[in-house]
Structure 1
Protein backbone atom coordinates (compact mmCIF):
# COMPACT_ATOMS: atom_id res chain seq x y z
CA UNK A 1 0.00 0.00 0.00
CA UNK A 2 1.37 3.40 -0.92
CA UNK A 3 1.45 5.89 -3.77
CA UNK A 4 2.42 5.78 -7.45
CA UNK A 5 2.88 8.49 -10.05
CA UNK A 6 1.09 7.82 -13.34
CA UNK A 7 2.50 9.50 -16.47
CA UNK A 8 0.50 10.16 -19.64
CA UNK A 9 2.57 11.13 -22.70
CA UNK A 10 1.37 13.43 -25.47
CA UNK A 11 -1.45 11.56 -27.19
CA UNK A 12 -2.48 12.29 -30.77
CA UNK A 13 -5.38 11.20 -32.94
CA UNK A 14 -6.50 11.80 -36.52
CA UNK A 15 -9.75 13.60 -37.27
CA UNK A 16 -11.65 11.26 -39.61
CA UNK A 17 -13.38 14.17 -41.36
CA UNK A 18 -10.35 16.34 -42.10
CA UNK A 19 -7.49 13.84 -41.88
CA UNK A 20 -5.53 16.23 -39.64
CA UNK A 21 -3.52 14.91 -36.74
CA UNK A 22 -4.64 16.51 -33.48
CA UNK A 23 -3.26 16.43 -29.95
CA UNK A 24 -5.84 14.83 -27.68
CA UNK A 25 -3.89 15.04 -24.42
CA UNK A 26 -0.76 16.88 -23.38
CA UNK A 27 1.79 15.12 -21.19
CA UNK A 28 0.58 15.07 -17.61
CA UNK A 29 1.08 13.13 -14.41
CA UNK A 30 -0.88 12.39 -11.25
CA UNK A 31 0.12 10.80 -7.95
CA UNK A 32 -2.49 8.29 -6.78
CA UNK A 33 -3.08 5.59 -4.18
CA UNK A 34 -1.46 2.26 -5.13
CA UNK A 35 -1.62 -1.29 -3.82
CA UNK A 36 -0.16 -4.70 -4.57
CA UNK A 37 -0.51 -8.30 -3.48
CA UNK A 38 1.61 -11.32 -4.22
CA UNK A 39 1.95 -15.02 -3.64
CA UNK A 40 4.72 -17.51 -4.18
CA UNK A 41 5.55 -21.18 -4.04
CA UNK A 42 8.84 -23.03 -3.74
CA UNK A 43 9.04 -26.65 -4.93
CA UNK A 44 12.17 -28.42 -3.68
CA UNK A 45 13.85 -30.92 -6.01
CA UNK A 46 16.83 -31.56 -3.74
CA UNK A 47 18.24 -29.94 -0.58
CA UNK A 48 19.94 -27.25 -2.66
CA UNK A 49 17.86 -26.97 -5.87
CA UNK A 50 14.25 -25.78 -6.07
CA UNK A 51 11.73 -24.24 -8.45
CA UNK A 52 10.33 -20.84 -7.50
CA UNK A 53 6.88 -19.72 -8.78
CA UNK A 54 5.45 -16.28 -8.07
CA UNK A 55 2.56 -13.97 -8.87
CA UNK A 56 2.11 -10.26 -8.20
CA UNK A 57 -0.86 -7.94 -8.82
CA UNK A 58 -0.29 -4.17 -8.82
CA UNK A 59 -3.07 -1.60 -9.17
CA UNK A 60 -3.74 2.09 -8.69
CA UNK A 61 -6.69 4.38 -8.13
CA UNK A 62 -7.82 6.49 -11.10
CA UNK A 63 -5.56 9.38 -12.07
CA UNK A 64 -6.91 12.60 -13.61
CA UNK A 65 -5.23 13.98 -16.74
CA UNK A 66 -6.37 17.33 -18.14
CA UNK A 67 -3.33 19.57 -18.63
CA UNK A 68 -3.97 22.49 -21.03
CA UNK A 69 -6.75 20.82 -23.02
CA UNK A 70 -10.51 20.86 -22.97
CA UNK A 71 -10.47 17.05 -22.96
CA UNK A 72 -9.99 15.35 -19.59
CA UNK A 73 -9.74 11.69 -18.81
CA UNK A 74 -9.33 9.32 -15.90
CA UNK A 75 -7.05 6.29 -16.16
CA UNK A 76 -5.94 3.63 -13.73
CA UNK A 77 -3.08 1.17 -14.01
CA UNK A 78 -3.21 -2.58 -13.38
CA UNK A 79 -0.46 -5.16 -13.80
CA UNK A 80 -0.41 -8.95 -13.44
CA UNK A 81 3.08 -10.47 -13.24
CA UNK A 82 4.07 -14.12 -13.08
CA UNK A 83 7.61 -15.31 -12.43
CA UNK A 84 9.44 -18.62 -12.65
CA UNK A 85 12.92 -19.20 -11.31
CA UNK A 86 15.39 -21.79 -10.12
CA UNK A 87 16.91 -21.39 -6.69
CA UNK A 88 20.29 -22.81 -5.70
CA UNK A 89 21.06 -22.73 -1.98
CA UNK A 90 24.68 -22.77 -0.88
Structure 2
Protein backbone atom coordinates (compact mmCIF):
# COMPACT_ATOMS: atom_id res chain seq x y z
CA UNK A 1 0.00 0.00 0.00
CA UNK A 2 2.70 2.50 1.02
CA UNK A 3 4.94 1.47 -1.90
CA UNK A 4 2.06 2.02 -4.36
CA UNK A 5 1.38 5.41 -2.80
CA UNK A 6 5.07 6.39 -3.11
CA UNK A 7 5.04 5.40 -6.77
CA UNK A 8 1.87 7.41 -7.43
CA UNK A 9 3.34 10.49 -5.72
CA UNK A 10 6.59 10.12 -7.64
CA UNK A 11 4.66 9.84 -10.92
CA UNK A 12 2.66 12.95 -10.01
CA UNK A 13 5.82 14.95 -9.25
CA UNK A 14 7.49 13.68 -12.44
CA UNK A 15 4.48 14.80 -14.46
CA UNK A 16 4.45 18.22 -12.80
CA UNK A 17 8.18 18.66 -13.38
CA UNK A 18 7.89 17.69 -17.05
CA UNK A 19 4.87 19.97 -17.49
CA UNK A 20 6.91 22.83 -16.05
CA UNK A 21 9.77 22.00 -18.38
CA UNK A 22 7.59 22.05 -21.49
CA UNK A 23 5.24 24.89 -20.52
CA UNK A 24 5.54 28.17 -22.43
CA UNK A 25 7.53 30.50 -20.12
CA UNK A 26 6.34 34.00 -19.26
CA UNK A 27 9.92 35.28 -19.53
CA UNK A 28 12.62 34.51 -22.07
CA UNK A 29 14.95 31.69 -21.08
CA UNK A 30 18.58 31.12 -21.98
CA UNK A 31 19.35 27.56 -23.11
CA UNK A 32 22.38 25.72 -21.75
CA UNK A 33 24.09 22.37 -21.82
CA UNK A 34 26.08 20.82 -18.99
CA UNK A 35 28.44 17.91 -18.45
CA UNK A 36 29.57 16.64 -15.03
CA UNK A 37 31.68 13.78 -13.76
CA UNK A 38 32.92 12.65 -10.39
CA UNK A 39 33.13 10.07 -7.68
CA UNK A 40 30.17 8.39 -6.06
CA UNK A 41 29.66 6.29 -2.95
CA UNK A 42 26.78 3.87 -3.44
CA UNK A 43 24.83 2.84 -0.37
CA UNK A 44 25.00 -0.81 0.65
CA UNK A 45 21.84 -2.67 -0.32
CA UNK A 46 20.31 -4.33 2.71
CA UNK A 47 17.30 -6.64 2.78
CA UNK A 48 17.39 -7.49 -0.92
CA UNK A 49 15.56 -10.85 -0.83
CA UNK A 50 15.84 -11.51 -4.58
CA UNK A 51 19.58 -10.85 -4.44
CA UNK A 52 20.45 -12.82 -1.32
CA UNK A 53 19.84 -10.21 1.40
CA UNK A 54 22.96 -7.98 1.66
CA UNK A 55 25.21 -6.36 -0.96
CA UNK A 56 28.20 -4.26 0.10
CA UNK A 57 29.17 -1.60 -2.44
CA UNK A 58 32.58 -0.15 -3.27
CA UNK A 59 33.52 3.25 -4.72
CA UNK A 60 31.90 4.35 -7.96
CA UNK A 61 31.94 6.98 -10.66
CA UNK A 62 29.13 9.07 -12.14
CA UNK A 63 28.70 10.99 -15.42
CA UNK A 64 25.81 13.41 -16.09
CA UNK A 65 24.76 15.35 -19.18
CA UNK A 66 21.86 17.81 -19.37
CA UNK A 67 20.11 20.38 -21.54
CA UNK A 68 18.11 23.08 -19.79
CA UNK A 69 16.55 26.53 -19.65
CA UNK A 70 17.87 29.31 -17.38
CA UNK A 71 15.22 31.80 -16.18
CA UNK A 72 17.52 33.87 -13.96
CA UNK A 73 17.00 32.69 -10.38
CA UNK A 74 15.75 29.26 -11.39
CA UNK A 75 16.50 26.63 -14.01
CA UNK A 76 14.82 23.48 -15.33
CA UNK A 77 16.56 20.73 -17.27
CA UNK A 78 16.36 17.23 -18.69
CA UNK A 79 19.28 15.09 -17.53
CA UNK A 80 20.74 11.72 -18.53
CA UNK A 81 23.06 10.01 -16.05
CA UNK A 82 25.21 6.91 -15.65
CA UNK A 83 26.89 5.52 -12.55
CA UNK A 84 28.73 2.29 -11.95
CA UNK A 85 29.96 0.70 -8.73
CA UNK A 86 31.81 -2.50 -7.97
CA UNK A 87 30.28 -4.92 -5.50
CA UNK A 88 32.63 -5.36 -2.55
CA UNK A 89 30.76 -8.18 -0.85
CA UNK A 90 27.69 -10.33 -1.28
CA UNK A 91 26.23 -11.87 1.91
CA UNK A 92 29.55 -11.15 3.70
CA UNK A 93 31.52 -12.98 0.98
CA UNK A 94 33.92 -11.11 -1.34
CA UNK A 95 32.44 -10.54 -4.79
CA UNK A 96 33.60 -9.01 -8.09
CA UNK A 97 30.33 -8.02 -9.77
CA UNK A 98 29.05 -4.51 -10.44
CA UNK A 99 25.90 -2.42 -10.41
CA UNK A 100 25.17 0.02 -13.25
CA UNK A 101 22.47 2.70 -13.08
CA UNK A 102 21.17 4.64 -16.09
CA UNK A 103 18.86 7.53 -15.18
CA UNK A 104 16.64 10.12 -16.89
CA UNK A 105 15.56 12.98 -14.60
CA UNK A 106 13.69 16.28 -14.81
CA UNK A 107 15.57 18.66 -12.49
CA UNK A 108 14.83 22.06 -11.02
CA UNK A 109 17.40 24.52 -9.62
CA UNK A 110 17.20 27.61 -7.44
CA UNK A 111 20.22 29.88 -8.10
CA UNK A 112 21.36 32.47 -5.55
CA UNK A 113 23.22 35.47 -6.99
CA UNK A 114 26.10 36.11 -4.59
CA UNK A 115 28.20 38.49 -6.68
CA UNK A 116 31.08 36.68 -8.36
CA UNK A 117 29.75 33.18 -7.72
CA UNK A 118 26.40 31.38 -7.69
CA UNK A 119 25.39 28.86 -4.99
CA UNK A 120 22.33 26.75 -5.82
CA UNK A 121 19.94 24.07 -4.59
CA UNK A 122 18.57 21.31 -6.81
CA UNK A 123 15.97 18.54 -6.82
CA UNK A 124 14.69 16.22 -9.51
CA UNK A 125 12.54 13.19 -10.29
CA UNK A 126 12.49 10.61 -13.06
CA UNK A 127 13.29 6.98 -13.81
CA UNK A 128 16.35 4.76 -13.40
CA UNK A 129 17.36 1.39 -14.78
CA UNK A 130 19.39 -0.66 -12.27
CA UNK A 131 21.45 -3.46 -13.82
CA UNK A 132 23.23 -6.09 -11.69
CA UNK A 133 26.16 -7.88 -13.36
CA UNK A 134 27.74 -11.03 -11.83
CA UNK A 135 26.17 -10.26 -8.45
CA UNK A 136 23.56 -13.00 -8.07
CA UNK A 137 22.52 -16.10 -9.97
CA UNK A 138 19.76 -14.19 -11.77
CA UNK A 139 21.43 -10.73 -12.22
CA UNK A 140 18.19 -8.73 -12.39
CA UNK A 141 17.67 -5.63 -14.49
CA UNK A 142 14.92 -3.34 -13.10
CA UNK A 143 13.49 0.06 -14.05
CA UNK A 144 12.03 2.14 -11.22
CA UNK A 145 11.29 5.71 -10.18
CA UNK A 146 14.18 7.81 -8.89
CA UNK A 147 14.93 11.22 -7.39
CA UNK A 148 17.89 13.45 -6.55
CA UNK A 149 18.60 16.40 -4.24
CA UNK A 150 21.75 18.44 -3.96
CA UNK A 151 23.57 21.72 -3.63
CA UNK A 152 26.43 23.30 -5.52
CA UNK A 153 28.47 26.32 -6.43
CA UNK A 154 28.99 27.75 -9.93
CA UNK A 155 31.72 30.25 -10.86
CA UNK A 156 31.91 32.08 -14.21
CA UNK A 157 35.17 31.28 -16.03
CA UNK A 158 34.37 32.80 -19.46
CA UNK A 159 31.48 34.50 -21.21
CA UNK A 160 28.55 32.05 -20.94
CA UNK A 161 30.66 29.33 -19.27
CA UNK A 162 30.32 28.31 -15.61
CA UNK A 163 32.59 25.95 -13.66
CA UNK A 164 30.26 23.92 -11.46
CA UNK A 165 30.97 21.83 -8.31
CA UNK A 166 28.18 20.00 -6.51
CA UNK A 167 27.12 17.44 -3.94
CA UNK A 168 24.25 15.15 -4.94
CA UNK A 169 22.21 12.47 -3.25
CA UNK A 170 20.51 10.08 -5.69
CA UNK A 171 18.11 7.25 -4.86
CA UNK A 172 15.61 4.95 -6.48
CA UNK A 173 12.30 4.00 -4.93
CA UNK A 174 11.92 0.39 -3.83
CA UNK A 175 12.28 -2.36 -6.43
CA UNK A 176 12.90 -6.12 -6.29
CA UNK A 177 10.80 -6.50 -3.12
CA UNK A 178 12.26 -3.89 -0.78
CA UNK A 179 15.59 -2.96 -2.43
CA UNK A 180 16.75 0.61 -3.05
CA UNK A 181 19.83 1.90 -4.88
CA UNK A 182 21.20 5.17 -3.51
CA UNK A 183 24.44 7.15 -3.75
CA UNK A 184 26.25 10.25 -2.53
CA UNK A 185 28.34 12.01 -5.21
CA UNK A 186 30.91 14.78 -5.50
CA UNK A 187 30.82 16.17 -9.06
CA UNK A 188 32.71 18.74 -11.10
CA UNK A 189 31.71 20.04 -14.51
CA UNK A 190 30.85 22.87 -16.89
CA UNK A 191 27.64 24.62 -17.84
CA UNK A 192 27.72 26.37 -21.23
CA UNK A 193 25.04 28.76 -22.50
CA UNK A 194 24.01 28.76 -26.17
TM-score tier (shorter): 0.5 to 0.7
Gaps of at least 5 residues in structure 2 are: 1-74, 132-140, 157-194
Q: Which has the higher contact order (CA 8 A, sep 6+)?
A: 1
CA distance in 1, matches of 2:152, 2:108: 14
Give the deviation of 1:82 after TM superposition.
Answer: 6.0
Runs (4 or more) in structure 1 with deviation over 6 Å come to none
1:13-53 Cα deviation digits (max 9, x unpaired): 222522112222x2412131322312133xxxxxxxxxxx3
Highest CA radius of gyration, 1 or 2?
A: 1
User: Given the alignment of the two structures, is residue 3 of structure 1 paired with residue 66 of structure 2, yes or no?
Assistant: no
2:123 to 60, 76, 90: 60
* Secondary structure of the corresponding residue to residue 61 of structure 1: strand
* Secondary structure of the corresponding residue to residue 117 of structure 2: strand
CA distance in 1, matches of 2:147, 2:96: 23
1:7-22 maps to which residues of 2 (within 5 A)? 7-16=81-90, 17-22=92-97
**Which one has the bigger helix percentage?**
2
User: Given the alignment of the two structures, is residue 78 of structure 1 paired with residue 156 of structure 2, yes or no?
Assistant: no
Gaps of at least 5 residues in structure 1 are: 42-52, 85-90
- Root mean square deviation, CA, Å: 3.2
